[in-house]
Chains A and B, each alone.
Chain A
Amino acid sequence: MQLVLSEDQELIASTARDFVAASSPVSRFRALRDTEDPLGYSPALLREMAGLGWLGIPFDEKEGGAGLGLAELILIAEALGRTLAPEPIVGGLAMGGYALALGAGPALRGAWLPGVIEGTKVVALAHQEPGSRYDLLHVATRAERAGQGHSLTGSKSQVLDAVGADAVIVPARTSGAVGDRDGITLFLVPKNAPGLTIERQLRVDHRNAASVRLAGVACDAASIVGAVGEGAAILEAVIDRATVVLCAEMLGGMAEVFDLTLEYLKTRQQFGVPIGSFQALQHRAARVYMEIELARSSVMAAARSLDLAEAGEAVKLVSLAKARCSNAYLLAANEAVQIYGGVGMTDEYDIGFYLKRARASELTFGDAAFHRRRWATLAGY
């Protein structure tokens, strides 16, 4: 594995950064929040991103995709993370999109993938339930036999990018008990299905998230992603990929908040000198720099390892990336608030957005402690 960007990847990264900086500065995120925009993102901008080829990155060329991988998708996510651009890449593309790519049969792929790649359809994935924390097998939502199909009952929480989604892929239990690996089945539920309620949840970081309630939603066999009772493996593989994409978004956020901090250290004057000339602050900044560098290496390694399908190794590196990014983003954001001082605490400055996003990202797909436990298990102790 080479931990360096190829020329093509350099080009993708710089294009993404320029495009996002121009089309979605942080002020746009602020405006969407302040105006309580009901959707929270722009379908038109999503289609523009599709036009740049971004939404086809994870999919095969013969299905209309770009035939690239996570090594490229993380470059897009990092650019979006820099300015907190709200288009549905983590919840939509990386969760719903990968679920279709890894699990769906020909009919579902044909019906949904073209729209996902063109940016006209968003498919979310409801991986979390109230009380499930980070346990993907904690699926209490039931799928009971009803005629030729199933009837889904239960509730999901903080389903990312579900607001405005055209469909939600719902893990439900066709057999077994909560916590069992067997018996989880993934159903693709269109947004207008009777009995389905999608309701926005206002999170601390204002990320697109919704509660999804299912009150006897009828699903036929054609809506099943993968095989009956065997959804856990798909779910785990999808969340590993989505975790790396989220990590890349976190990398963008921590890099941006650190850049803002450096700028402030160089310009803010106290005691007649720039505060960045104080050794106490210089050393804090240097420590943040190192943590960001280690986080970056870990994310690049995890993405490449998944692309290379390094069995055993890739899942460990996903945990490595998420643990590093969780801690590094919070460190960068906490230090930013401290170094900005009083103004860092005000809503007027953007620093607070990054602190909130750092915390929200940490508590998505497992925090550092969760991933250390997972690492230990995978490493055989």
Chain B
Amino acid sequence: MADLESFRRETRTWLEANVPKSLFGQAGSELDGTWGGRKATYPNPDSKLWLDRGAARGFTAPTWPKEYGGGGLDPAEAKVLAGLLRELKLPLPLIGFGLTMIGPTLLRFGSEEQKKLHLPRICRGEIRWCQGYSEPGAGSDLASLQTKAVRDGDHFILNGTKVWTSYADQADWIFALVRTNPTAKKQEGITFLLVDMDTPGVSISPILLISGKSPFCETYFKDVRVPVANVIHKVDAGWTVAKALLGHERTMIADAFGGAGPKPENKGGRSFLAELAVSKLGEEKGRLTDPIFRDEVAAFEMESRAFAFTVQRTKDAARAGHQPGSESSMFKIYGTELNQRRYELLVRLLGPDALGWDGPGFDDGDLEITREWLRSRGNTIEGGTSEVQLNILAKHVLGLPA
């Protein structure tokens, strides 16, 4: 404990000395940060400075081994660091799928050469990654994917289409599931492959959602030549890798939707939601006047706390040595449903003010809530539908028969 305390003091001193002053107090949430990559732009140049200094200190990937550009911190030290960033309201030096998805996957399944090549570039924010899993014909039934990879010497030749590739237009590399054996059982003919998006034959088009613009793209592969050396794990064994990575994705989604802890409360102790309810519906003697909305706001806040405690419990258990398993499916289901309920409640609290689409005559914050309400309907679909997660819980956690 004394060591942790000195780590905390030392880290705090270092942060105060090295993070540019313009970034203190700037983070609105724990997920704020810089994405990096070859195409990155930095509206505030200090963000780039923080990325470079943070990366040099190992703080972009605090728990990864130092030899790959990480910080080599143990989980308790990483928790202290996260706590300090939260306390100082600092954005993360770097965020993105390199850190949360492909990095952990490479650490587990990558060859030494692959780790040495890719991990340091992720840590330094040089390469931005995107995920190529879903296809127009393969959604919940992901294993039915058809993007073809045909062997040609020490290359594969890729043909097919990936859909819902978030930020593909800004990414440098894509990790993709491709079919290398069309005759095997569908899970057994899939390979996990890394593809440089600059390779000839890769093209992208954005997808317009019901909520307006989105980070989603379609990504097309036409006779794209990819070195066999870019296979992770083994040819035809990609499904094992894919499933492990989906676990990381579910945990990340759960964190994004409130699992990371209660939202900071406004002064007066009211949550953002309660404050909005009071401002729209009025109060009498410190009580929200509408008893039905009062009940709904309380129900939401309570559910959200109970969920955050459950995520914390799993993390505390992991630190105590109990490895989390398919429980991450629960976080995916619950976190996304909570987010939907939050926006349902928000638009109903706004009333007619929630009906704006764009332009003058509406409040910017209200416009954003309406767009987010529409966007949130996708939360229970992307990253594995709630129904698929319920299947996973039933079979792998509860042991119910197939």
Contacts and interface: CB of A to CB of B under 8 A. Distances in A.
Interface of A: 2-4, 262, 265-266, 273-274, 276-277, 279, 281-283, 285-287, 289-290, 293-298, 300-301, 317, 319-320, 323-324, 369, 372-373, 375-377, 379-381
A339 B309 CA distance: 29
Nearest to B337: A290
B297 A293 contact: no
Interface in B348-402: 387, 390-391, 393-395, 397-402
Interface of B: 268-271, 274, 277-278, 283, 286-288, 294-295, 297-299, 301-303, 305-307, 309-310, 312-313, 316-317, 319-320, 327, 330, 333-334, 387, 390-391, 393-395, 397-402
A381 B295 contact: no
A276 B271 CA distance: 41
Given A286-B393, A289-B330, A380-B270, A262 B398 contact: yes
B257 to A, nearest CB: 14
A381 to B, nearest CB: 5
Contacts, number: 127
B277 A300 contact: no
B309 A300 contact: yes
A285 B387 CA distance: 13
A8 B353 CA distance: 55
A381 B306 contact: no
A381 B300 CA distance: 14
12 contacts: A276-B400, A279-B394, A281-B400, A283-B387, A289-B397, A297-B306, A297-B313, A319-B302, A369-B295, A379-B298, A380-B270, A381-B287
Given A4-B319, A381-B277, 18 more contacts: A266-B400, A276-B401, A282-B390, A282-B395, A283-B394, A285-B394, A286-B397, A294-B303, A294-B310, A295-B306, A296-B313, A297-B309, A298-B309, A372-B299, A373-B298, A375-B301, A381-B286, A381-B288
B302 A266 contact: no
A381 B401 CA distance: 47
Given A285-B394, A297-B313, A372 B330 contact: no
Contacts of B319: 4
A380 B298 contact: no
A96 to B, nearest CB: 30
A154 to B, nearest CB: 31
Contact of B297 (A266, A276, A376): A376
A287 B306 CA distance: 15
